[in-house]
Amino acid sequence: MLKIQNLHTFYGNSHILQGVDLFIKKGEIVSLLGRNGVGRSTLCKSIMGLVRATGSIYYNGTEIIGLPSHQIAHQGIGYVPEDRSIFPGLTVLQNLELGMKNVKKTGRWGLDDMFRLFPQLEERKNLQGELLSGGEQQMLAMCRTLMGNPDLMMIDEPTEGLAPRLVQEIGDFLQEIAGHGISTLLVEQKLSITLNISQRLYIMGHGKIVFEGTPQNLEDYPRIRQEWLEV
């Protein structure tokens, strides 16, 4: 459903993405791993139309490269950025409402579903976004994007800085939404949860994909792990 070919992205003169190829099928959880600064977030932003890129990004049969990001969102791609971008002065409910693209058309997901997935959010629904803890902000950011009814979710480092129990909760969440046919591009730094929940994974090093395969495949290449993942 998503097929990226020969993607290049520049920040000024620095060549960040140097010909990335990647695909995701329907309902798949695909992980994108790599060390700090290799360009994982830049790939998400390029797909979302937030930075200018060249190459080809095919989504459900349409070329989306160069489209403004709100149109890409309407094609069915959802994005949860690394910094979570919670609207600080707005309440949890208002943040969720802004996830809906159209208030008149009810999508697959409603507020009830969000509160079932993360009961904490219901308790805090009238609290301002800036008052939430890091974990709660992550939950809110994911639910907000889900309210927009995406077919593909790109989630950038959701477990960063969270306690193991929360990491587990987020893993469960990702598997639950995958069960509804939503595809996921999960960006992480380390293997941790990705080994258990993703069908395939990509490893990125310095703007290029250096490994592509299943978690089992990776076990046959300890050198790749050593070189591109471990410190």
Partner 1 sequence: MLEFVTFSLLNSLVYGMLLFLLSSGLTLIFSMMGVLNFAHASFYMIGAYVAYQVSTWVGFWPALLIAPGIVGIIGALVERYGLRKVHQYGQLAELLFTFGLAFIIEELVIMIWGRVGVDYKIPSSLEFTLFDLFDTSFPAYKAFMLVISVSIFLVLYYVLVRTRVGLIIQAALSHPEMVGALGHDVPKMFMLVFGGGSALAGVAGVIGGNALITEPAMAAQLGTIVFVVIVVGGMGSLTGALVASLLISFLQTFAIGFDYSLYDLVNAMDTWPFLSEAAGPWNDLLHVKVAQTGPVLPYLLLVLVLVVRPKGLMGVRET
Ligand X SMILES: Nc1ncnc2c1ncn2[C@@H]1O[C@H](COP(=O)(O)OP(=O)(O)OP(=O)(O)O)[C@@H](O)[C@H]1O
- Kindly write out the interface string for residues 82-111 of this chain, putting x where it contacts ligand X by CB under 6 A and - elsewhere: x-----------------------------
Token pair, residue 57, equals 């990004």
Q: Quick one: 41 or 149, whose CB is closer to ligand X?
A: 41
Q: Count of residues binding partner 1 (CB under 8 A)?
A: 27
Residue 128 phi, psi dihedral angles, 5° rounding: -75, 145
Q: Is residue 26 a contact point for partner 1 (CB under 8 A)? A: no
Give which of ligand X, Mg ion, partner 1, none residue 117 binds (C-beta under 5 to 8 Å, depending on kind): none
How far is 129 from 87, CA to CA, in rounded Å?
6
Q: Is residue 166 a contact point for ligand X (CB under 6 A)? A: no
Report the residue from 5, 6, 26, 74 that binds partner 1 according to the rule CB under 8 A: 74
Stretch of 13-21, 33-41, 73-81, 118-126 contacting partner 1, by CB under 8 A? 73-81
Binders of ligand X among residues 45 to 84 (CB under 6 A) are 82
Q: How far is CA 213 from the centre of its chain?
A: 19
How far is 70 from 67, CA to CA, in rounded Å?
8
Q: Crossing angle for the helix pair 164-179 and 134-146, nearest 10 degrees?
A: 10
Q: Is residue 129 a contact point for ligand X (CB under 6 A)? A: no
**Longest CA span, the chain:** 53
Binders of partner 1 among residues 142 to 201 (CB under 8 A) are 144-145, 148
Cβ 32 to partner 1, closest distance in Å? 18
Contact at 8 Å (CB) between 137 and 128?
no
Q: Quick one: 82 or 97, whose CB is closer to Mg ion?
A: 82
Cβ 34 to partner 1, closest distance in Å? 22
Contact at 8 Å (CB) between 210 and 224?
yes
Among the listed residues 192, 190, 177, 202, the one whose alpha carbon sits nearest the alpha carbon of residue 80: 177
* Strand-pair partners of 154: 79, 185
Token pair, residue 206, equals 């310095």
Report the residue from 4, 30, 38, 209 that binds ligand X according to the rule CB under 6 A: 38
- Identify the helix (H) or strand (E) that includes residue 17: strand 14-24
Q: Is residue 82 a contact point for partner 1 (CB under 8 A)? A: no
Q: What angle do CA 211, 23, 114 make, to 5 degrees?
A: 110
Instruction: List residues near ligand X by CB under 6 A.
Output: 11, 16, 34, 36-42, 82
Residues that bind partner 1 (CB under 8 A): 48-50, 68-70, 72-74, 78-79, 81, 85, 87-90, 94, 97-99, 101, 103, 128, 144-145, 148
